[in-house]
């Protein structure tokens, strides 16, 4: 598993941008190699979530530059991830058996219903 990629994905889902965003891609690449992620302030995510993504309380989280020290890089791999306090409320045995209810179930009125999508995308013309 690419645990770095998971950290990037979680950050992007929470903030709508990469943690190393810069309009200049060369600067973005340099930031990836040398800088810590920049969390927008005020941050509305929990300390546990922030710690899961990036070093807050420990040096071995998902966006650790050293892949050998990154959370999930040990022999315990995903079990190390599962024990993190941000994921404490998840029953992974039930999750893997598809026994957990979906946290969000959208209301869909018919097969043409797009109200759960941003109008930015639903107002675009079709490619056909």
For residue 1, what pLDDT is reported?
A: 64
For residue 34, what pLDDT is reported?
A: 87
- pTM for the whole structure: 0.70
Percent of the chain with pLDDT over 90: 27
| Residue 72 · residue 81 · CB < 8 Å | yes
For residue 55, what pLDDT is reported?
A: 58
Give per-residue pLDDT as tens, 55-105: 554 555 787 777 777 777 777 778 888 888 899 999 999 999 999 999 899
Give per-residue pLDDT as tens, 13-56: 998 888 888 999 999 999 998 888 878 877 788 888 888 888 55
Question: Is pLDDT at 117 greater than 70 in this prediction?
Answer: yes
- The position carrying tokens 């650790």 is 64
Mean of the pLDDT values across residues 97-125? 90
Domain chopping of the chain, boundaries: 3-96
| Architecture (CATH level 2) of domain 3-96 | Orthogonal Bundle (1.10)
Question: Is pLDDT at 2 greater than 60 in this prediction?
Answer: yes
What is the average pLDDT value for the chain, to the nearest integer?
84
């Amino acid at each position: 598993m690419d645990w770095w990629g998971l950290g990037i994905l979680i950050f992007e889902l929470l903030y709508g941008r990469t943690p190393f965003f810069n309009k200049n891609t060369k600067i973005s690449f340099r930031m990836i190699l040398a800088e810590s992620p920049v969390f927008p302030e005020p941050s509305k995510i929990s300390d546990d979530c922030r710690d899961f993504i990036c070093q807050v309380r420990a040096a071995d989280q998902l966006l650790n530059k050293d892949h050998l020290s990154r959370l999930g890089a040990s022999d315990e791999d995903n079990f190390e991830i599962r024990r993190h306090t941000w994921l404490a409320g998840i029953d992974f045995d039930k999750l893997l058996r598809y026994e957990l209810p979906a946290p969000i179930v959208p209301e869909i009125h018919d097969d043409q219903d797009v109200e759960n999508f941003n109008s930015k995308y639903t107002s675009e013309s079709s490619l056909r």
